[in-house]
Chain A
Amino acid sequence: MEIIRMERVSVTVKDETGDKLIFSDLHISVDRGEKVLIRGRSGIGKTTVFRLILGFTRPSSGGIYFEGRRADPDLFWEVRKRTAHISQDSDIGEGPVMALFGEVFSYSANRGKFSRDDLGALLLGFSLQEDVLTKKFENLSGGEKQRIAIIISLMTKKDIFLLDEITSDLDAALKEKVVDFFLARPEWTVLVISHDPEWEREGVRIIDFAEVVSKTKVGKHAGQ
């Protein structure tokens, strides 16, 4: 069953020089449970796709559909509650890591989802020490931050994952572990933006971004 579809979506942004086209006529359709890797050179607009799905960026034309329903503001708020968005520059906060968990699980949508046992198991699973919880988030390394963000998204029981370069700061063994983890669940829909070849596995659909849009701000050349 189809979960996300984008039809002829174009995005322009305003800057000092006026309206600037990011891309036009994007077509993407993703089925529930699918694992999709979106590739393409930097600056081509891949991250914008995730922003479109979350309603953070509005298309200048075209339609976005979730499970066949055309997206409206209410639907985007629903999608945000089902979707985990983890990105390279995920800025989830500052202060002790445990306090961040406290904040996230105080949101009405997440109340009752916290389990100390699950947290312990996930820390172990992602090779983090228990004492990471008492450290300040801003003092963690890039790889530790990414894993904390992954753990939070797993504990909030999402079923759609938008993963933007989340393995870039991890070592080879951890990359494999994270990839295994996200590909293992048939019920999860996972969209990945990454340059890491670890994601190119059997069962992962690879989309070359340049081929699903008709124009980008950097010209019509196909991506590498």
Chain B
Amino acid sequence: MPASDISLPGMLFCFILLLIPILVSYYFKLQLIGSTLQSAFRMTIQLALVGFFLTFVFDLNNVILNITWVMVMVIVASHTVLKNAELKLQSLIAPLIISFTITNVGMLLYFNTLIIDLEDVFDARYFIPIGGMVLGNSLRANIVGINDFCDQIQRNENRYLSRLSLGAEKHEALMPYVKKSLRNALKPTLANMATIGIVFLPGMMTGQILGGSSPLVAIEYQIAIMVAIYVTTVMNVVLAILILMYRGFDEYGMFRKSMLKI
């Protein structure tokens, strides 16, 4: 039993709800009316396009097209990470895309082959949404990790230099920052994993239940995807910080401040 279609009047009732944030913004002079309308509009257009596009992709279910679409997601994700971390793109984008590709596609193949045992591992119905979930959920952790690392280096530059003059190699001197950034980046994902099901019902599980799956099947998928997200996040953050360690410092071991946007 698939989820019932939302009718046009139903969608209208949905948009009417936006009057509440608009009134709140008006009353408190938040100056968010424009952004609210713009964001809602962008979301609608983007999702409509994706809806049509995915219908097309699912009907076609072509391996090359599916892989290409996941690659587009990887490139956009890498770009988003660097943009939000306020780093210049040119020096880091290529290694970041490569590392995201390896971790995410690797995880997708493992997931589809060994965990859910698909006959066609590139099946669009699994490959694309699961890829999107894994990638999307590791984004924030990457941004936190990279920001935290750059921030620590700049704030504690003296301590870093002291370690170098105490005989540390670059990687030895940076290790305390690496540890701290990794912990800070992974904490939200861990907290999320620990509260799932009680504090909130995750989107994928809700979607499956609405789509007619039994809650038991839905939780199996949810558990599997949470583990996949956590593991991919760990790998992505570690690789992103490693890339920063090697690309972000000159041959003297000094942090390349020119990499920062400001």
Contact = CB atoms under 8 A, between A and B. Distances in A.
Interface centre among A58, A93, A106, A153 (most CB of B within 10 A): A93
Given A55-B252, A76-B252, A91 B169 contact: no
Contacts of B159: 91-93
B129 to A, nearest CB: 45
A54 B164 contact: yes
Given A91-B159, A93-B159, A152 B252 contact: no
B156 A91 contact: yes
Nearest to A149: B162
Contacts of B161: 54, 56
Contact of B169 (A89, A92, A108): A108
Interface in B162-208: 162-169, 172, 176
A138 to B, nearest CB: 11
B105 to A, nearest CB: 35
Interface centre among B163, B165, B168 (most CB of A within 10 A): B165
Contacts of B252: 55-56, 58, 73, 76
B253 A84 contact: no
B166 A107 contact: yes
Contact of A104 (B158, B167, B169): B167
A205 to B, nearest CB: 23
A153 B250 CA distance: 26
Interface residues of A, number: 27
Contacts of B169: 77, 107-109
A84 B156 contact: no
B223 interface: no
A110 interface: yes
B253 A77 contact: yes
B254 interface: yes
B165 A85 contact: yes
B59 interface: no
A185 to B, nearest CB: 19
A8 interface: no
A136 interface: no
Given A56-B161, A91-B158, A91-B159, A73 B167 contact: no
Nearest to B159: A91
Contacts of A24: none
A90 B167 contact: no
Contacts of A107: 163, 166-169, 172
Interface of A: 54-56, 58, 73, 76-77, 80-81, 83-85, 89-93, 103-104, 106-110, 152-153, 156
6 contacts: A56-B254, A77-B253, A80-B164, A80-B167, A92-B166, A93-B176
Given A84-B165, A107-B167, 20 more contacts: A55-B254, A56-B252, A56-B254, A73-B250, A80-B167, A84-B166, A85-B165, A89-B158, A91-B159, A91-B162, A93-B176, A103-B176, A104-B167, A104-B168, A107-B168, A107-B172, A108-B169, A109-B167, A110-B167, A156-B167
